[in-house]
Amino acid sequence: MRRPPVRESRCVIKRHFFLVAAAVLLALMVVAAVFKVITSDDKSSQAPGAGGRHGGQQVSEAVVAVRPFSDQIRVLGVARGQRSVNVTSSTTELITRVLFADGQLVSAGAPLVELQAREEDAAIIEARANVNQAQREYDRYKALADRGVAPQVMLEQAETALETARASLQAAQARRGDRVIRAPFAGRVGLTTVTPGTLINPGAVIATLDDTSTIRVDFPLPERYLNLLRPGAPITATADAYGDAPFQGRIALIDTRVNEATRAATARAEFPNPGGRIRPGMLLRVVVQQGQRQTPAAPESAVQYEGAGAFVYRIAPGQNGSTAQRVEVETGAVENGFVEILSGVEPGERIVGSGLNRIQPGAPVSVAGAQRKSGAAQ
């Protein structure tokens, strides 16, 4: 029988040795992993933040308490002048004179722009000539009638012709007056681009005119507040241009109809504006004060929002300590770091103050400082 070569037997022994070594190394790694898990569990169970024998996540505590909240209606509105108009022309014509400066304050009836009026000027000259001719005819027939030479009917015809000529002159002068565009009310003229020689068309804006002595602001008023507000109620507004500087005004009018889509009525507020600080078009934040109310509240950090709802974790006694009970709450206003609680929890109830995202409903919790207090009492 032929014996295997010595070289082949050595290779087989070496292969077996490596397999055994790999198996032993794998077993050692498994044992080390199990030991690490066991020791980490022991440490976590003994850690102070884990609650020790009381168990659970360590949390801070907050107490639901009654706090004052301001009854306010906060809305946005756009400032408008007491009266605002775009100055336009009713005809196509050349501008011959611009009688105002940009930003100028003008009085009611002040001329702003004069249009070319050659035809109107000619019509006035012709009408005046007709009046003069009719006046001479009337004077002549009156003198003849006084001497009994001319019949009375001729005098009456001359008088009628004179009155007609005078009426034609007045009409021509009125048409000439239409060539001067005047300010319909007192106010401030805005920027313009028209100059003498500009051809304007009907409806084209020559300038803007705003009466900013009083500013009007229209804003939506939810129908649930209609029974709370009346014309004359005080109102406050702020503008980004002036930071938190308030403007004091009053509610002037509330519309008679409620919008079916928004369920709100339009309210109009008026703000005195003697210095012209508020300009038409500014966005104003309108605040209507309705006094104060006392309601339960919780810190903002203790309220978790989920979709359209909100909840808190009530700290409730359990078999082995405290547990976190999830409670759905109805929230209201947010003011000075506190959330108004309309329903769900009552004043005096203990709730988790922060770290709500680390808690599961019904899980054991340990209130921070509770163990130190109990140890000091012992």
Q: With cut-offs at 50, 70 and 90, classify the pLDDT of residue 36.
A: low
Mean pLDDT of 302-312: 91
pLDDT above 60 for 71: yes
Mean pLDDT of 243-262: 92
Residue 224 lies in a domain: no
pLDDT at 6 (0 to 100): 46
Parallel/antiparallel/unpaired status of strands 247-259 and 338-343: unpaired
H/E element, 266: strand 264-272
Residue 5 and residue 54 in one domain: no
pLDDT above 80 for 103: yes
Global confidence as pTM = 0.52
Q: Which of 136, 157, 178 is the last residue of a domain?
A: 178
User: What is the DSSP secondary-structure string of 333-346?
Assistant: EEETTEEEEEESS-
Sign of CA dihedral 197, 201, 204, 208: positive
Is 363:69 a contact under the CB 8 Å cutoff? no
Parallel/antiparallel/unpaired status of strands 57-59 and 364-367: parallel
Residue 312 and residue 366 in one domain: yes
The neighbour count for residue 271, using CB atoms within 10 Å, is 21
CA distance readout (Å), 202 to 54, 90, 93 = 86, 5, 9
Residue 27 lies in a domain: yes
Cα atoms in the Cβ-side hemisphere of radius 13 Å centred on 141: 18
CA distance 361 to 352: 12
pLDDT at 329 (0 to 100): 94
Residue 79 lies in a domain: no
Residue 55 lies in a domain: yes
What CATH number corresponds to the domain at position 369?
Answer: 2.40.420.20
pLDDT above 60 for 322: yes
Residue 92 lies in a domain: no
pLDDT at 319 (0 to 100): 76
Residue 306 and residue 334 in one domain: yes
Domain that includes residue 152, residue range: 117-178
CA distance 55 to 57: 7
Helix axes 152-177, 118-147, angle to 10 degrees: 160
Poorest-pLDDT segment among 60-69, 145-154, 297-306: 145-154
pLDDT at 13 (0 to 100): 57
Residue 98 lies in a domain: no
Residue 17 and residue 65 in one domain: no
Q: Which of 160, 178, 196 is the last residue of a domain?
A: 178
Residue 78 lies in a domain: no
In the chain, where does DSSP find H-type helix?
6-46, 118-147, 152-177, 370-377
Is 201:89 a contact under the CB 8 Å cutoff? yes
Residue 325 and residue 366 in one domain: yes
Location of structure tokens 């770091």: 337
User: What is the DSSP secondary-structure string of 270-318?
Assistant: EEE-TT--S-TT-EEEEEEEEEEEEEEEEEGGG-EEETTEEEEEEEEEE
Residue 126 and residue 58 in one domain: no
pLDDT above 80 for 28: no
pLDDT at 157 (0 to 100): 86
Residue 82 lies in a domain: no
CA distance 117 to 27: 111
pLDDT at 365 (0 to 100): 84
pLDDT digits (tens, 9 = 90+) for 125-174: 888 888 898 898 888 888 888 887 778 888 888 888 888 888 988 887 77
Q: Return the structure tokens found at 88.
A: 């336009």
Mean pLDDT of 24-50: 57
Q: Which residues pair with 77 in a beta bridge?
A: 284
Poorest-pLDDT segment among 185-199, 235-249, 278-292, 325-339: 278-292
Q: With cut-offs at 50, 70 and 90, classify the pLDDT of residue 177.
A: low
Counted domains in the chain = 3
pLDDT above 90 for 24: no
Residue 63 and residue 121 in one domain: no
Residue 313 and residue 358 in one domain: yes
User: What is the DSSP secondary-structure string of 203-219?
Assistant: T-EEEEEEEEEEEEEEE
Report the mean per-residue pLDDT for the chain.
82
pLDDT above 50 for 372: no
Parallel/antiparallel/unpaired status of strands 61-63 and 350-352: antiparallel
Q: Return the structure tokens found at 188.
A: 């401030």
pLDDT digits (tens, 9 = 90+) for 50-64: 444 445 788 889 999
Residue 56 and residue 28 in one domain: no
Residue 60 and residue 121 in one domain: no
Q: With cut-offs at 50, 70 and 90, classify the pLDDT of residue 358.
A: confident
**Which CB contacts under 8 angstroms, 24+ apart, belong to 151-159?**
158/134
Residue 368 and residue 299 in one domain: yes
CA dihedral 39, 42, 46, 48 (to 10 degrees): 60
Parallel/antiparallel/unpaired status of strands 283-299 and 264-272: unpaired
pLDDT digits (tens, 9 = 90+) for 260-276: 998 999 999 999 998 88
What CATH number corresponds to the domain at position 129?
Answer: 1.10.287.470
